Structure 1
């Protein structure tokens, strides 16, 4: 069986002190699945302590420094390249870079077999606005340059593919769309929903709407908050749980005054799974969502979702078959929740349909094979590019 020696470059992982968002589980689980298939995988990232091997993946850590995020990522990239060179005998077959933070490492190693994965874009993270501040311009420039020099590019959805083609003029032939994978069994667990609700001071029979994600403009928690009064006008006993941290928390707490809303902050993986399995509905009100890991997590727990019709959410939800898609407006979000909240059997059918789609399309066994296909095609892609240039 063909075996690759693979280097991952990523600024976060699940096995370090630095975990920020969905990038950590996406990259970590992919690395572990590749190792499970017999490939030698080294993961170069930030972290404290000595190098370690976890679930078959060899982790190499550095502690960067810098006065701003651009300088910080520059020193991180240089440190990661130094660590890479110490393990490049025999040489790595594939170098896989994740997002803009490590593009300066990609620059140094650009003559190798390289893949750059766009998990999002700076433009998308700011809600589709072109920023005027210098960090936006610097990061966008790195995203353009990374897409230009990488031998192959992957995106997590067709909408992100279209976005990077439009923003950075990356040719279509260079891009493969590969969704984030998931282990559905990790998110389905037997719980007593009433007991979980009681833990949060909620009546066992009260319907619960769950938001999971960063409390940031991109994720739209304020849109859901604005929808709550309209939802309560139809169903007075609905309760709302917001799990996650972010810079909008103080603002949201002000909006929540007098409403049946709890902010749980950071929740452990165990509590996250219990909440998914105990809630009645998961709301995903994002303004921009390249993929939306919480969608496949909710589906894995057989939960129904109401989501805004953007990005990967719009692509992956089949409206009224495995979820409800609505425009990016508070009144539309309220309509979606109200359409479902009085019909538990309907919500259960949609949740089960979502779980079936996860099994067919998003299991790691499916996603990992598609990634390996990209790796196998890199030398051919390079030859085709040479022919076009000639």
Structure 2
């Protein structure tokens, strides 16, 4: 593909404001594309500009707002101002990541644009609302972004279908471009017993690890409720929860009598150490558009017990590189017990997962698929002419 001048718009990145997996996905894609293209990344942060791993970062600091939608509108104005500083010569393509930057897309919709769904508002919060899912302001923004972008991608086939059904997106307009991983970032040579002891766990007992937001979508409550099932079969089981969120206080109360520790957010190095010291990684999500934690666990050679939903369902081969369960405490508990019953099989599934991420999820492969999506924009414009 010919060298392009590409602008990324994303409200988070690995080197400034980081909220969740979106920072990893957008940053790593930008850095991989920068090997062959000129890539500028417009995001939140302090200071003016920085060049990191070939990507040129341009920061803005929103003044704020009474809610997240108003905040993102203010952020978008800052991104537009910064974008104008670097639009000579003009950018060939503008890539927008998730709903936070749709207001920028609105202002630049006449350009060559692509919009990526990393999740939807329905997936994040849908059934957690009493009385069903309301078509919220954020959902309306997601629909509008899809309507005005020249092309769209989604990080899994499940998310593609979800977005098409929710927002009436035609089949020809949206492709699947999965996320990738750098396995070495999640590997560490650790003494598992010493790491467990450091966090107050029994060094000789199996440790089940949860990583993610303590929010309805990620299902941490179902994992807490599954713990008694595992403990009936394996009384020495113990659980570590990495992450924070609005459910934390209630979960701590719920788990008061259980061998469960809530560790909050950890530094990257601490997370990688605990990941490599764990015996099972549990991913009990109710909705998971892709599931970067799955690739992180596999990169560390860990066995996963994961809900049979979304990208998790698409990527796990049940019984070979992980165990798929229903998003219900009884099923999750049964899956955990099955893995704990056979440590050797668990190690084997972890090794299979590591081979899969090396084979199927390198960022170079993801970047090639995204370039194919970029090429469709130019092809579509040619046909219109």
Q: TM-score, normalised by structure 1?
A: 0.95
Tell me, in whole angstroms, the C-alpha distance in 1 between the residues paired with 2:128 and 2:234: 36
Tell me, in whole angstroms, the C-alpha distance in 1 between the residues paired with 2:89 and 2:132: 43
Alignment partner of 1:57 out of 55, 58, 72: 55
1:138-149 maps to which residues of 2 (within 5 A)?
A: 138-149=137-148
**Secondary structure, counterpart of 1:67 in structure 2:** coil
Who is 1:13 aligned against? 13
Displacement over 4 Å in runs of 4+: 128-136
Tell me, in whole angstroms, the C-alpha distance in 1 between the residues paired with 2:9 and 2:175: 19
Tell me, in whole angstroms, the C-alpha distance in 1 between the residues paired with 2:129 and 2:252: 28
1:167-206 maps to which residues of 2 (within 5 A)?
A: 167-206=166-205
Computed over aligned residues only, the root mean square deviation of the Cα atoms, in angstroms, reads 1.7
Deviation digits for residues 136-174 of structure 1, max 9, x if unmatched? 521111111111111110000000000011000111111
Give the conservation status (yes or no) of the 8 Å contact 2:241–2:261: yes
Between the two proteins, the alignment pairs up a number of residues equal to 384
Tell me, in whole angstroms, the C-alpha distance in 2 between the residues paired with 1:145 and 1:156: 19
Gaps of 5+ in 2: none
Who is 1:367 aligned against? 366
Tell me, in whole angstroms, the C-alpha distance in 2 between the residues paired with 1:126 and 1:134: 8
Deviation digits for residues 337-382 of structure 1, max 9, x if unmatched? 0001021110011111111111121111111111111112211123
Instruction: Specify whether residues 381 and 141 from structure 1 end up closer, same or farther in structure 2 by C-alpha distance, changes over 3 A only.
Output: same
Tell me, in whole angstroms, the C-alpha distance in 1 between the residues paired with 2:268 and 2:184: 14
Give the conservation status (yes or no) of the 8 Å contact 1:115–1:150: yes
Deviation digits for residues 280-302 of structure 1, max 9, x if unmatched? 00000001100000000001111
- Determine whether 1:255 maps to 2:257: no
1:46-85 maps to which residues of 2 (within 5 A)?
A: 46-64=44-62, 65-85=64-84
Who is 1:2 aligned against? 2
Tell me, in whole angstroms, the C-alpha distance in 2 between the residues paired with 1:174 and 1:219: 29
Give the conservation status (yes or no) of the 8 Å contact 1:131–1:137: no
Who is 2:41 aligned against? 43
Deviation digits for residues 103-157 of structure 1, max 9, x if unmatched? 1110111111111000000011014467889995211111111111111100000
Tell me, in whole angstroms, the C-alpha distance in 2 between the residues paired with 1:289 and 1:4: 32
Tell me, in whole angstroms, the C-alpha distance in 2 between the residues paired with 1:99 and 1:223: 27
Give the conservation status (yes or no) of the 8 Å contact 2:220–2:284: yes
Instruction: Specify whether residues 22 and 131 from structure 1 end up closer, same or farther in structure 2 by C-alpha distance, changes over 3 A only.
Output: farther
Give the conservation status (yes or no) of the 8 Å contact 1:128–1:288: no
Instruction: Specify whether residues 134 and 209 from structure 1 end up closer, same or farther in structure 2 by C-alpha distance, changes over 3 A only.
Output: closer
Give the conservation status (yes or no) of the 8 Å contact 2:43–2:60: yes
- Determine whether 1:23 maps to 2:14: no
**CA displacement at 1:57 relative to structure 2:** 1.2
Tell me, in whole angstroms, the C-alpha distance in 2 between the residues paired with 1:228 and 1:127: 25
Who is 2:218 aligned against? 219
- Determine whether 1:121 maps to 2:120: yes
Who is 1:155 aligned against? 154
**Secondary structure, counterpart of 1:290 in structure 2:** coil
Give the conservation status (yes or no) of the 8 Å contact 1:44–1:84: yes
Tell me, in whole angstroms, the C-alpha distance in 2 between the residues paired with 1:224 and 1:304: 16
Deviation digits for residues 237-278 of structure 1, max 9, x if unmatched? 011000001111000000111111111101111111111111
Instruction: Specify whether residues 220 and 324 from structure 1 end up closer, same or farther in structure 2 by C-alpha distance, changes over 3 A only.
Output: same
Give the conservation status (yes or no) of the 8 Å contact 2:122–2:133: no
Tell me, in whole angstroms, the C-alpha distance in 1 between the residues paired with 2:127 and 2:303: 27
Instruction: Specify whether residues 74 and 172 from structure 1 end up closer, same or farther in structure 2 by C-alpha distance, changes over 3 A only.
Output: same
Give the conservation status (yes or no) of the 8 Å contact 1:123–1:130: no
**CA displacement at 1:201 relative to structure 2:** 2.1
Deviation digits for residues 311-330 of structure 1, max 9, x if unmatched? 11111111111101111100
**CA displacement at 1:220 relative to structure 2:** 0.3
**Secondary structure, counterpart of 2:175 in structure 1:** strand
